[in-house]
Structure 1
Amino acid sequence: MTALSATSPTLAGTLLGDNGRLSAVRMVMLAIAGSLLLWVSAKIAVPFWPVPMTMQPFAVMGIGAAFGWRLGMATVALYLVEGALGMPVFSGTPEKGIGLAYMAGPTGGYLVGFVFAAGVTGWLAERGFDRNVLTMIAAMTAGTIVLYAFGLAWLSNLIGVEKALVFGLYPFVLGDAVKIVLAALIFPAAWKRLSSKG
């Protein structure tokens, strides 16, 4: 068995589970709580250069890392369903529209990318990447690349590749680097604290 095929308990499973396993009821509760966290994270803009920074990508990949890939993806999917049903859960809603009309706009690819970014980060976390600063940087970077792949592909289809990079990538790179470092500090520290209590 290779290192990447061996799975480790998730942070949520270790904190709330029975021998690392979460009951169905707890998984549902975590998915609902996670979708609410995503809603809040979409609404909070942190002043940053060159554009204000939301903490939503951090929340998406943090949920993936804490919950694991399956529950992480399900949580983000639940959030998207809430948005598709017209709940004002996305950044800029309801002012910029709601529901499927909003999701078909410029940020549609990023919204879909959230699901897969949580999945990639969660899959790597289940293999212990969230327990070390450098490997957590790698996991968050991988999730961020997946997020941008979906987001930029969709945006490029709407406005062209060059404009997509100018408006959908370059202004956010520095802020996303800060989020990656933040996650790389928080998750290993949380695991270290748990192990010291055990």
Structure 2
Amino acid sequence: MTLYAALTATRPEKMATAALVALAGSMLLTLSAKFAIPFYPVPLTMTTFVVIGLGLALGPRLGTAAVALYLLQGAAGLPVFTGTPEKGLGLLYMAGPTGGYLLGFLLAAFVAGTLAERGMDRSPLLAFVAALFAGAIIYLPGLLWLGTLLGWDKPILAWGLMPFILGDLAKAALAAMVFPAAWSMISSQGGL
């Protein structure tokens, strides 16, 4: 969308564009969830990269809307999550070991988008810090839910945090290189 088109678009046109972008974001999340490395109890995927990237590229409202749409699709039983069969398990899957991380996705997209809006996307270093912070947000509800579900006597940090640290550092670096350019392009064109 050109700057002129963005400035002259009617409210319904802007809403339709935003809805299509949120749908595309939820589809990207689905694809990222399907390329997984099985790991117990939480699989390794690229979804955290996409969640943080959606926030950095689309801002807090639209990035969070894309993640919310993805979660609603999963809750409705669509096979959007990692390891869900063709007919998804919906809320039952969301109540499992990854449930807290799924909630963390919403928070991370919002935080990454807010930090991008406040200028954290101006340099790769600042974008990296924003991506790290947003990524860390995912672990708060994720580990809390994992401990509640499996029991605090289990090695929760060894299962739900430690295996992911190096990968998340790499994903944050990649997000810092890729998504701020998208945010700058979208905002320079008048936003969505």
TM-score over 0.5 for the pair: yes
Give the structure 2 partner of residue 65 of structure 1.
Answer: 56
Question: Deviation of residue 98 (structure 1)?
Answer: 1.2
- Confirm whether residue 174 of structure 1 aligns to residue 174 of structure 2: no
Query: Among the aligned pairs, what percent are the same residue?
Result: 53
Letter in 1 for 2:178: I
Per-residue CA deviations over 1:48-73 (Å, capped at 9, x if unaligned) read: xxx97411100011011111101111
Aligned length: 179
Looking at structure 1, the residues matched to 92 and 150 of structure 2 have their Cα atoms a distance apart, in angstroms, of 17
Match of 1:30 among 8, 21, 25: 21
Tell me the CA shift for residue 131 of structure 1: 2.4
Distance 2:184 2:58 in 1: 18
Q: Is 1:156 the counterpart of 2:147 in the alignment?
A: yes
Shift of 1:192: 8.0
2:30 aligned residue: 39
Q: Flag structure 2 segments of 5+ consecutive residues without an equivalent.
A: 187-192
Preserved contact between residue 33 and residue 80 of structure 2 (Cα < 8 Å): yes
CA-CA distance at 1:29 after TM superposition:
0.4
DSSP-derived class of the 2:65 partner: helix
Larger RCO (CA within 8 A; separation ≥ 6): 2
What is the CA deviation profile of residues 70-94 of structure 1, one whole-angstrom value per residue up to 9, with x for unaligned ones?
1111111111110011000000102
- Aligned residues of 1:43 and 1:92 also touching (Cα < 8 A): yes
The unaligned stretches of length 5 or more in structure 1 are 1-12
Deviations 1:119-166 (A, max 9, x none): 000000111212211111111011111100110010011223452111
Aligned to 2:189: none
TM-score (norm: length of structure 2): 0.82
Change in Cα spacing, 1:15 to 1:119, as seen in structure 2 (3 Å) is: farther
Query: In structure 1, what residue type is equivalent to 2:30?
Result: W
